[in-house]
Structure 1
Amino acid sequence: MKPSGFTYHRPQTVDEALDVLGRVGPEGKVLAGGQSLVPMMNMRLAAPAELIDINRLTALDYVQVEGDGAGAAVRVGATARHTTVERDTAAFTVLPLLRQALSHVAHSTIRNQGTTVGSLVHADPAGEMTAVLALLDGSVEVRSAHGARCVSASDFFVGPLESCLEPDELATSAVFPVPEGRSGSAWLEVARRHGDYAVCGVGAVLRLDGDARVVAARTGYISVDATPVVLDLGEVIGRVPYDTADWDAAGRYAAAQLQPEGDIHASAAYRRQLAGVLTSRALSAAARHALARHDIMTEVPQ
């Protein structure tokens, strides 16, 4: 199939893009990587009358590590490709979860063109980066011709394929905070085939103290609800050494908190069981990752 007719705009600057968005209103749709939008247009699931291509906005093509220590974050510009974020060494060093999750996003050809911020705006509840942003308590920077605002992940995703963006607004960047202390992370998911949307996916961020006891643990989920789900499991695990923690109990608790729906890919019961199993495995992997990262980062060359 082919998309319905539309007027094509190719702004050269952010201000020009904002001007176009302000003029076309709800009839407009922003094209960045297009790996989700174009197939929807071809299937007539989306039919924007005005298409605003922001690929010429090179000022938004960046991955930056901001700050140091507490308060550090990775900022990703609106036209930065998944692959650019995935391969950025500085971002990986401070926030490995980005690469851990991005490696599961479709196939390399999709990641070469698709954009991380675009996937957030698309707000697919099966999209990995939506859960990563929510898990890290991240935010999206939004601009219009009238000003700018910062929207937290908890407010940004309002429903399946629906964000809080107004018609005249452009998401210019996303901010992924770096977990503090002796932290580790993991991302696990199950899909029918590699590159397919996950039947269920779980990201985990866990922090250990100096004695390798668990002091904080959070998990984020995709494909279990209309928006990303985040659970705080620190109290469930308890302040215990990582190698004696009851990960299975945490998985059972997490599964009990989730209310997924069944579909043609999996029943609700299977998806809930899968979420529990992946939770326990992701937490255990995150704990090992925290220990390994600490050992590597504190080694002193002889």
Structure 2
Amino acid sequence: MKPSPFDYHAPADLDEALDVLARVGPDGGKVLAGGQSLIPLLNMRLAAPAHLVDINRLTELATVEAGPGGVRVGALARHATVERSTPAAAVQPLLGQALRLVAHPVIRNRGTVVGSLVHADPSAELPAVLALLGGSVRLAHRGGEREVAAAEFFTGPMESAAAPGELAVSAFFPARPPRSGTAFCEVARRHGDYAMAGVAAAVTLDEDFRIAAARVACVSVGPIPVVVDVADACGGRPEASADWAAAAAAVRDRIEPEADIHATADYRRHLTGVLAVRALRGAAVEAAGEEGT
């Protein structure tokens, strides 16, 4: 199939892009950055925008800035660029851990981190990362901008808080706290496919190597990333004797998976619990190693 007819816009700078988006507004404007999710939707006519706004000339948005507080990723930063960024990995390792699981290298060479967030697929890795870390997305519009926290950004499957006339210009991923570790585990039918279930985990230890904080974010088991605080289930214990089974039970109680042609709801619930144990244990081991360095 081929896309429905649309008007193509190729703004030369951010101001022009915002002017175009303000002009087309609710009439059906879509932003093209990497296009790895959008182009298939257009070809299958699951999306039929009246206007396509190509922002690939906005090179000022192709940035990855790592600082003590976290990593800010611009709207044109490709998955591969962020995955290979040594400064970003040092500040927030979960980014690289998740990006290695995103599709295939050819997709990561073109797809963008911010584009994945705005696409808001509940089976995608990066929305779970942003939700787990308590990050945010910066939305610009003609005349101003606003920063939207992850907890408010994802509003439903394939739906975000970006309003007509707004452009997501960057995303912010907070830095890993001291004595902390992260991990991302998932299971897919084939490497590069969307996960049947996936879990991102973050664990922080106190000065006595006991678990002070533990959270997970689950993918493919709800309309948006499901974030679960499991500190009450496994907190207060050393990493080696933590009750990961209790943490997994808490996760299974919070999720609402659905069945499809690939897995039953019960299987997804069971699999998410198994992955939660793996991810939490891996994050705790990393936290212990970080503390020991």
State the TM-score bracket (shorter-chain normalisation). over 0.9
What are the residue-to-residue correspondences of 1:246-257 with 2, within 5 Å? 246-257=243-254
Q: Post-superposition shift, 1:261?
A: 1.0
Tell me which of 137, 150, 153 is aligned to 2:150.
Answer: 153
What are the residue-to-residue correspondences of 1:204-243 with 2, within 5 Å? 204-243=201-240
What are the residue-to-residue correspondences of 1:221-300 with 2, within 5 Å? 221-296=218-293
Please tell me whether the aligned partners of residues 214 and 235 of structure 2 are also in contact (alpha carbons under 8 angstroms). no
Partner of 2:31: 30
Matched, 1:19 2:19: yes
Matched, 1:142 2:136: no
Measured in 2, the distance between the counterparts of 1:287 and 1:232 equals: 15
TM-score between both structures, scaled by the size of structure 2: 0.98
Measured in 2, the distance between the counterparts of 1:277 and 1:226 equals: 21
Measured in 1, the distance between the counterparts of 2:177 and 2:60 equals: 29
Q: Post-superposition shift, 1:198?
A: 0.2
Q: Post-superposition shift, 1:273?
A: 0.4
Q: Post-superposition shift, 1:4?
A: 1.2
Moved over 2 A (4+): 293-296
Q: Post-superposition shift, 1:294?
A: 2.8
Gaps of 5+ in 2: none
Q: Post-superposition shift, 1:184?
A: 0.2
Partner of 1:300: none
Partner of 1:58: 59
SS of the equivalent of 1:143 reads strand
Measured in 2, the distance between the counterparts of 1:176 and 1:238 equals: 24
Gaps of 5+ in 1: 297-302
SS of the equivalent of 1:5 reads coil
SS of the equivalent of 2:196 reads strand
SS of the equivalent of 1:219 reads strand
Please tell me whether the aligned partners of residues 132 and 216 of structure 2 are also in contact (alpha carbons under 8 angstroms). yes
Q: Which residue identity is paired with 1:184?
A: G
Q: Post-superposition shift, 1:52?
A: 0.3
Percent of matched pairs sharing the same residue: 58
Measured in 2, the distance between the counterparts of 1:250 and 1:36 equals: 34
Partner of 1:196: 193
SS of the equivalent of 2:162 reads coil
Over aligned residue pairs, what C-alpha RMSD do you find?
0.8
Residue-by-residue CA offset, 1:6-43 (whole Å, 9 max, x unaligned): 11111110000000000111221000000000000000
Measured in 2, the distance between the counterparts of 1:120 and 1:238 equals: 30
Partner of 2:164: 167
SS of the equivalent of 2:109 reads helix
SS of the equivalent of 2:73 reads strand
Residue-by-residue CA offset, 1:123-148 (whole Å, 9 max, x unaligned): 00001000000000000000000311
Partner of 1:118: 115
